[in-house]
Amino acid sequence: MNKKSLVMLSAVVGMTIGSCNKSNTAGVFDDNNPLIANWEGEYQVPPFEDIKISHYKPAFEYSIKEHKKEIEAIANSEENATFENTIVAIENSGRLLQKVAKTFFPLTSTDTNEEIQQISQEIAPVLSEHSDNIKMNDKLFARVKKVYDDYKTPSVETPSLTAEQKTLLEDTYKSFVRSGANLSKENKEKLKDINKELSVFSLKFGDNLLAETNNYELIIEDKKDLAGLPNDLIEVAAEEAKNRKKEGKWVFTLDNASVMPFLQYAENRELRKQIWEAYQKRGNQDNALDNKQNALQLANLRLQKAQLLGYNNHAAYVLEESMAKTPENVTRLLQQLWTPALQKVKAEATDIHAMMQRDGINETVQPYDWRYYAEKIRKERYNLDEQELKPYFSLENVRQGIFDVTNKLWGLKYAELKNMPKYHEDVTVWEVKDKDDKKIGLLYMDMHPRASKRGGAWMTSFTDQYIQNGKNVMPVVSIVCNFTKPTASAPSLLTFDEATTFFHEFGHALHGLLSNVNYLSLSGTNVPRDFVELPSQVLENWASDPEVIKMYAKHYQTGEVIPDALIEKMKAAGTFNQGFATIEYLAASFLDMKFHTIDQPIKTDINSFEKDAMSNVGLIEAVIPRYRATYFSHIFAGGYSAGYYSYIWSEVLDSDAFQAFKETSLFDQEKATLFRTNILEKGGTEDPAELYRKFRGADPKIEPLLKKRGLL
Residue 13 above 70 pLDDT?
A: no
Q: How many CA atoms lie within 13 A of 481 on its CB side?
A: 27
Kind of pairing between the strands at 458-463 and 476-480 = antiparallel
Tell me, yes or no, whether 539 lies in a domain. yes
On whether residue 613 sits in a domain, the answer given is: no
Whole-angstrom Cα distance, residue 255 to residue 238?
15
DSSP string, 171-201: HHHHHHHHTTTTS-HHHHHHHHHHHHHHHHH
Question: Is residue 204 located within the same domain as residue 229?
Answer: no
Percent of the chain past pLDDT 90, that is, above it, reads: 91
> Do residue 555 and residue 514 come from a single domain?
yes
Instruction: Using DSSP bridges, classify how beta strands 476-480 and 439-446 pair: parallel, antiparallel or unpaired.
Output: parallel
Distances from the Cα of 118 to the Cα of 11, 99, 112, 170, 288, angstroms: 19, 20, 10, 37, 16
The verdict on 250 and 158 lying in the same domain is no
> Would the pLDDT of 288 be above 90?
yes
Separation CA 294–CA 212 (nearest Å):
14
Q: Write down the pLDDT at residue 4.
A: 30
171 and 71 inside one domain: yes
pLDDT at position 153 is 86
Point out the residues that are catalytic.
Answer: 505
Same domain, 132 and 233: no
* pLDDT greater than 60 at residue 1: no
461: β partners: 477
- Do residues 417 and 523 share a domain? yes
Alpha helix positions (H), 29-113? 56-75, 89-92, 95-110
Q: Does residue 468 share a domain with residue 432?
A: yes
Task: Name the band, by pLDDT with cuts 50, 70 and 90, for residue 30.
Answer: low
- Do 144 and 276 have their domain in common? no
Model pLDDT for residues 460-473, shown as the tens digit of each residue: 999 999 999 999 99
What secondary structure does DSSP assign to 93-150, as a single string? TTHHHHHHHHHHHHHHHHS--HHHHHHHHHHHHHHHHHHHHHHT-HHHHHHHHHHHHH
pLDDT at 290 over 90: yes
**Residue 77: inside a domain:** yes
- 51 and 133 part of one domain: yes
Query: Does the structure show a pLDDT above 70 at 12?
Result: no
Cα 88 from chain centroid (whole Å): 29
pTM recorded for the entire structure: 0.90
What CATH number did the domain enclosing 51 receive?
1.10.1370.40
The reported pLDDT for the residue numbered 360 is 96
C-alpha distances in Å from residue 428, one per residue of 106, 107, 256: 16, 15, 22
Shared-domain flag, residues 176 and 252: no
Residue where one domain finishes, among candidates 280, 303, 327 = 280
Q: Has residue 321 been placed in a domain?
A: no
Last residue of a domain, one of 246, 280, 314: 280
pLDDT tens column, 613-652:
999 999 999 999 999 999 999 999 989 999 999 999 999 9
CA 502 – CA 393 distance, rounded (Å) = 11
Assess if residue 161 is contained within a domain. Answer: yes
Residues facing 445 on adjacent strands = 428, 479
Q: What is the DSSP string of 555-621?
A: -TTT-PBPPHHHHHHHHHTTTTTHHHHHHHHHHHHHHHHHHHS-SS---S-HHHHHHHHHHHHT--T
DSSP state letter for 472: E
The torsion angles phi and psi of 462, rounded to 5 degrees, stand at -95, -30
Q: Is residue 160 part of a domain?
A: yes
As a residue count, the chain comes to 712
Contacting residues for 52 by C-beta, under 8 A, at least 6 apart = 27
Residue 600 inside a domain? The answer is no
Q: Is the pLDDT of residue 102 over 50?
A: yes
How far is 26 from 127, CA to CA, in rounded Å?
18
Considering only 155-159, 291-295, 437-441, 442-446, which range has the smallest mean pLDDT?
Answer: 155-159
- Its domain, for residue 670, covers 391-572+646-708
d(CA 464, CA 44): 11
Q: Mean pLDDT, the chain, as a whole number?
A: 93
Cβ-based burial of 69 (10 A; exposed 0-12, middle 13-18, buried ≥19): exposed
* pLDDT at site 293: 97
Boundary residue ending a domain (157, 179, 210) = 210
Residue 682, number of CB atoms within 10 A of its CB: 27
Q: What percent of the chain has pLDDT over 70?
A: 96
Q: What is the pLDDT of residue 619?
A: 97
> Do 163 and 271 share a structural domain?
no
pLDDT computed for residue 156 by the predictor: 67
pLDDT at 32: 86
Q: Could you give the CA distance from residue 700 to residue 692 in angstroms, rounded to a whole number?
A: 8
Query: Is 62 in the same domain as 195?
Result: yes
Average pLDDT value for residue range 562-591: 96
What is the band of 517 on the pLDDT scale with cuts at 50, 70, 90? Answer: very high
- pLDDT > 90? residue 16: no
Domains held by the chain: number: 3
- Asked if the structure places residue 170 within a domain, the reply is yes
Residue-level pLDDT at 7: 31
